[in-house]
Structure 1
Amino acid sequence: MRAVVWRVEWLTLGLIVCATALWFAAGLLWTTSLWWVGLLMMPFLAAFHTSLQHETIHGHPTPWAWLNECLVSLPLAVVFPYRRYRDLHLRHHRDEHLTDPYEDPESYFWCEADVHRMNDFARHLFALNNTFVGRLLIGPALTIVGFTRTELARLRQGEAGVRMAWALHGVGLIAVVWIVTAVFQMPMWVYALCVIYPALSLTAMRSYAEHQAAENVGARSAIVETHPALALLYLNNNLHIVHHASPATPWYDIPALYRERRTQYLAANENTLFKGYRDIARRFAFHVKQPVDHPLMYRTQAQTQIHTRENA
């Protein structure tokens, strides 16, 4: 019993409590002269809450998955059911499939055939989404639409666990809507436009440069050496190759691990390093970082067909 208690990560547990309490306190400012302070704080707190959800998905801060889920189950960013985020994100951690538009649920790539079937407007829209500014402005909307469509399809097909995930999410949504509208006395449209969407943009800023298409699996995960405040917002997930190499490592141990093995990580990811998000913005603000269609997908499919014929 003592060994189990020792595994509780009190720092992360404290952050969960503080983030939720600060979100609540910021919301209560809505009916005061400091309403604008609360409205500035809440998107960062909602984005931080998604970082904390990510931490719980990987087994923190307690040994009990059910308790970890309960600790972050209030959906401050509203859109994604915790259990769907959990299941899809763990699929994303099959590194051999990183960026694959079929196998990686967090990929922003499309296969070449699907891109050819798009109309010009859709192709331009997704190309804009592959710029840094575009990802912040339209990325959350595209994510919401795409996620909703695929989840509705899964619900219709009766995929295991999806209905329960959405039912539990519905309970959390009712709680958030009641708190926002009845306790904070904030219109839900204000919360949607001024909290949810900016929070998703903040998350998109982090995820924009996390992955890229590459032959080498290690080169598919990037490193962003950023300001400590942003590193805290993302719980050091900006050092993304470290997280993929050691997904069970708690957020507060990642910087030391990175410093210790920096040379090895840079060799593994072929020096895919950004000096902060300003560096990313400077290079890709209005320039497509990678094409909409997966640059290796056609070749991969052809190689798979050859491999299949050779082993038939």
Structure 2
Amino acid sequence: MLIACYATWFAAGVYLYPSTPIVALVVLGVAIALHSSLQHEVLHGHPTRFARVNEALVFLPLGLVYPYRSYKKLHLQHHADERLTDPYDDPESFYKATDDWRTHPVVLRKLLSWNNTLLGRVTLGPPLMVIGFTMAQWRAIAGGDRKVASAWLLHAAGLLPTVLIIEFAFGIPLWLYALTSAYLGISLISVRSFCEHQWSERADGRTIIVETSILAPLFLYNNLHFVHHKLPNAPWYRLPMLYRQRREEWRLMNEGYVFRSYLDIFKAFLFRSKEPVVHPGLRLGNTHLVTTVMKTSPGLPPLSEISSPEQHDDIDRRPADV
């Protein structure tokens, strides 16, 4: 899959762009989305047992924006299911705490509300995510976080050959690549992440299952997201089988947070907000925690099949800061 991704990206830039530039830019965007899915697979310990080998396989940042090591650290933090959707503890949460929401300008509130529709997420979402992520990263660097600084230095090292390939091998202006292909790549991944999580008092009810989709291979079957959260070590190609084997149990465990396909999500939320931006039950502000019940389903997979992010990140390698 890695070979296919890089081959598609390179062929679209070198061979397709000179003759059909619009098609090429779209294909490049699809390749970038697939590369993002592959980076997700790599940070979970695939395809080898060695973190540095895996990292080298996705070293070139085709999407330009996110340093791999920062993404890895934040995503493994996100896998603490008991904190899923928390505006502070879950770095991938789109919720805002009540106190923070009250301080936001009206214009920003409008933008964030529109971002909670699917159309808003795929159009406005990419710049909101990139700006928010970059500001948080640079605040960390300014505060003396050497690991974040190191992640950005490595990112810059990978960015240099990537930009040279785009500009000179492809002949695509960097600004055009960024505003079309890279933007499209983030938008495609945003389709997957749009409904991935919701607030529920029970932690198992917070993660979605989208049963079928033509987009599933592009997402490396992370449409079966609840299965992935319960079995983060399972490689992407096993997720459909694991779901089929215990379909009714999975659906019961996640309290029926199930969609038949992404088409159903499009129909339901293209123009309608899927939920309020303000977190409905967990946090009022950074120091105010609302007491709530944190339960998980009794029907969990065997413990031998489940690992915490910390355990998962230690498979014959150093933690995320290597």
Q: Normalization by structure 2: what TM-score? A: 0.87
Q: Which amino acid aligns with 1:236?
A: Y
**Residue 301 of structure 1 corresponds to which residue in structure 2?**
289
* Alignment partner of 1:237 is 2:250: no
SS in 1 for 2:216: helix
* Alignment partner of 1:41 is 2:41: no
Q: Which amino acid aligns with 1:155?
A: I
**Residue 72 of structure 1 corresponds to which residue in structure 2?**
58
Distance 1:52 1:35 in 2: 25
**Residue 307 of structure 1 corresponds to which residue in structure 2?**
none
Q: Which amino acid aligns with 1:303?
A: T
SS in 2 for 1:161: helix
* Alignment partner of 1:200 is 2:186: yes
* Alignment partner of 1:20 is 2:6: yes
**Residue 265 of structure 1 corresponds to which residue in structure 2?**
250
More helix by share: 1
Q: 1:89 aligns with which of 72, 75, 90?
A: 75
Matches within 5 A, 1:153-302: 153-227=139-213, 229-298=214-283, 301-302=289-290
Deviation per residue, 1:17-74 (Å, 9 max, x gap)? 1211210111013553233332221100000000000000000000110000000110
Q: 1:113 aligns with which of 76, 99, 122?
A: 99
Distance 2:122 2:137 in 1: 23
**1:52/1:120 CA distance change after superposition, 3 Å:** same
**1:155/1:292 CA distance change after superposition, 3 Å:** same
**Residue 8 of structure 1 corresponds to which residue in structure 2?**
none
Tell me if the contact between 1:30 and 1:36 (Cα under 8 Å) persists in the aligned partners: no
SS in 1 for 2:291: helix
Using CA pairs below 8 Å that are at least 6 residues apart, which structure has the higher relative contact order?
Answer: 2
Q: CA deviation at 1:213?
A: 0.7
Aligned residue pairs, count: 289
Q: CA deviation at 1:245?
A: 0.4
Distance 2:239 2:38 in 1: 15
Distance 1:84 1:218 in 2: 26
**Residue 308 of structure 1 corresponds to which residue in structure 2?**
none
Q: CA deviation at 1:262?
A: 1.1
SS in 2 for 1:232: coil
* Alignment partner of 1:52 is 2:50: no
Tell me if the contact between 1:55 and 1:251 (Cα under 8 Å) persists in the aligned partners: yes
Task: Please provide the CA RMSD for this pair.
Answer: 1.3
Q: CA deviation at 1:278?
A: 1.2
Distance 2:93 2:19 in 1: 43
Deviation per residue, 1:89-141 (Å, 9 max, x gap)? 00000101000011000000010111111121111111100111100110111
Distance 1:104 1:34 in 2: 42
Distance 2:68 2:290 in 1: 37
SS in 1 for 2:54: helix
**1:31/1:89 CA distance change after superposition, 3 Å:** closer
Q: Which amino acid aligns with 2:291?
A: Q
Distance 1:31 1:107 in 2: 37
